[in-house]
Structure 1
Amino acid sequence: MLVDVPLEFSASGISLMDTIDLDLNYDDVSKVESATLYFLADNSFPMDCELQFYLFDPVLSTMTALLPQNAVIKAGLYDPVLQKVTSATFSKIPVEFTKSKIEQLFNSKKILAKATFSTAPPNTQVKIFSDAGIDLKITGLFNYLID
């Protein structure tokens, strides 16, 4: 017999973090004038997720925030009768990059990913099932200087 027991709780500010190796191979980053990265997320968790990425400098001593403060991926559509997310919610976070921030991105060797989850409204009990998750894609538009 197989029993599915969901996790039920309310939360405010639960953070998950991971450090990721970064290797962006591009020979001449000086030709990139500006860029816009789009963080596209489908959230099937019943909680909002405040997302942030931090770029480490080459000696891993200084971090620079990549996303604007309060970059929030909205919670999936939660049905209180079923006590389950019935559909994922799509969020799009655009981030403008100046030339100096592009150089920081391409010179970084590691990036810290931080996701902070909170139930909304606060103190609301929600259930999380095994199929919950966040599907995150990053796309971009780059402006190049052509000789």
Structure 2
Amino acid sequence: MTAKRLPVPPFTAETAQQKVRAAEDAWNSRDPERVALGYTEDSEWRNRDVFLSGRAEIVEFLREKWQYELDYRLRKELWAFTDNRIAVRFEYEWRNDEDRWFRSYGNENWEFDENGLMRRRYASINDIPIAADERRISL
């Protein structure tokens, strides 16, 4: 039996916002296993030009991501929602191992199953270099 991840579809403005906050909190933990629990066992992802399938691939991807994207900090904003889908815009800041800072902007489209787990996540992301004093998202 699959555990439910509240809130579950169909979403309202309030429950869609709750889902966005929960995702933001999980990603800001930088804990790949915690993040992956929000997705179905066979979840499909597109992240930039990377295509993933399933929790195991998600965990491995996030481990590698956060070894490269240091001091990662994310903000998500609800853009739109329907019964079982949510669209968000986001930005996050991070630095590389040469201490160069970046801000990444993007959009995600999410689709959830009846248990509130995300079965599809499609992310388009662009990065821009920033100076350390241009950071807007505190750690």
More helix per residue: 2
TM exceeds 0.5?
no
Larger radius of gyration: 1
User: In proportion to residue count, which structure has more strand?
Assistant: 1
TM-score in terms of structure 2 length: 0.29
Q: Which structure is richer in relative contact order (CA contacts within 8 A, separation 6 or more)? A: 1
